Amino acid sequence: SRKIIIDTDPGQDDAVAILLALASPEEIEVLGIVAVAGNVGLAQNAINARKVVELSGRTDIPVYAGCARPMRRTLVTAEHVHGDTGLNGPDLPDPQVPLQAQHGVDYIIDTLMNAEPKTVTLCTLGPLTNIAMALIKQPEIADRIQEIVMMGGAYFEVGNITPAAEFNIYVDPEAANVVMRCGGPITIQPLDVTHMIQSTPARLDAIKALGNRSGQAVYDMLTFSEGFDLKKYGWTGAPLHDPTVIAYLLQPELFEGRHCNVEIETASELTVGMTVVDYWHVTERPRNATYMRSGDADGFYKLLTERLARLP
């Protein structure tokens, strides 16, 4: 099975991604979870990560806290989507599992340096601060990463936090820039994909009907976080973002994209955080990422529902 570290700012959709990974032990071994500042502040995200681990019954998964703010900018959060706790919806108990003492950035570095090269994948579900800081502190990790699979960016579908930028990239564009240029293999699940993977009432009802506590919690989480997007877009379902990262590891054939150049805008006031995707290869710039453009929603929800059924 594939070894992964999940770097995250949970976040209802982050939580569903973590649950999908923990429900798939045959294919995925979650080595650890690292919290980053994003949807809400670092301390709350670290609490939320531990709540999700306990919900899944996998209290053996260590949870670390990484960086509390972006590399250069003031933290922008998203309580307007996720609620004041970042994980509004279900009533999850305060976590009992302790937060690990080691800093999340050092955990990422140590894990990559101590594992065989190219055997650990980084799954990023939030701003890229921790990964960029790890690359800056120990550049040798770049050659040792098996793959970085990130939820972030938007191109054909444009932005969600500004007209040009997707939230995870916008919060720390300097970090995203460091990561995009690191030289390791990168796969991107942008809004172009996640806006196709809509959580319609029928899909959420099927998850609730599983009858387990995880299914109920996912239903409660996504029903809460959908509220904002349903009003905003006027669709019958809301986009579901972060679980596409884990679904790609489980069933890559659900997604289609292209290996091409992706650059991050860090200078312009109007378009800061934009992912500029050379999808049609109109430049000679290096092809540094696989940029997904579409996803199979029915196949995705079939996988998600079937896997959530395996949890408590």
**Residues with catalytic annotation?**
241
Q: Tell me if 159 contacts Ca ion by CB under 5 A.
A: no
| Residue 109 or 153 with smaller CB distance to ligand BDR | 153
Q: Which two tokens stand for residue 46?
A: 């670290």
| Residue 109 or 192 with smaller CB distance to ligand BDR | 192
H helices of 97-200, in order, are 104-114, 129-137, 167-171, 173-180, 191-194
| Residue 241 or 293 with smaller CB distance to ligand BDR | 241
H helices of 127-269, in order, are 129-137, 167-171, 173-180, 191-194, 201-208, 213-233, 243-250
To the nearest whole angstrom, how small is the minimum distance from the Cβ of residue 31 to ligand BDR? Answer: 20
Residues that bind ligand BDR (CB under 6 A): 11, 13-14, 39, 78, 81, 125-126, 151, 160, 166-168, 241-242
Binder among 6, 7, 14, 33 for Ca ion (CB under 5 A):
14
Q: Tell me if 166 contacts Ca ion by CB under 5 A.
A: no
Q: Which two tokens stand for residue 123?
A: 């799954």
Which residues on neighbouring strands pair with residue 7, listed in sequence order?
A: 34, 124
Other beta carbons within 10 angstroms of residue 119's beta carbon come to 12
Yes or no: say if 136 and 127 are a contact pair by the CB < 8 Å rule.
no
| Residue 19 or 260 with smaller CB distance to Ca ion | 19
| 214: three-class secondary structure by DSSP | helix
Query: Could you say which of Ca ion, ligand BDR, none residue 192 binds, taking C-beta under 5 to 8 angstroms by partner kind?
Result: none
Binding segment for Ca ion (CB under 5 A), chosen from 113-121, 212-220, 241-249, 291-299, is: 241-249
Yes or no: say if 171 and 270 are a contact pair by the CB < 8 Å rule.
no
To the nearest whole angstrom, how small is the minimum distance from the Cβ of residue 167 to ligand BDR? Answer: 4
To the nearest whole angstrom, how small is the minimum distance from the Cβ of residue 9 to ligand BDR? Answer: 6
Q: Which two tokens stand for residue 237?
A: 């379902």
Sites of contact with Ca ion (CB under 5 A): 9, 11, 14, 125-126, 242
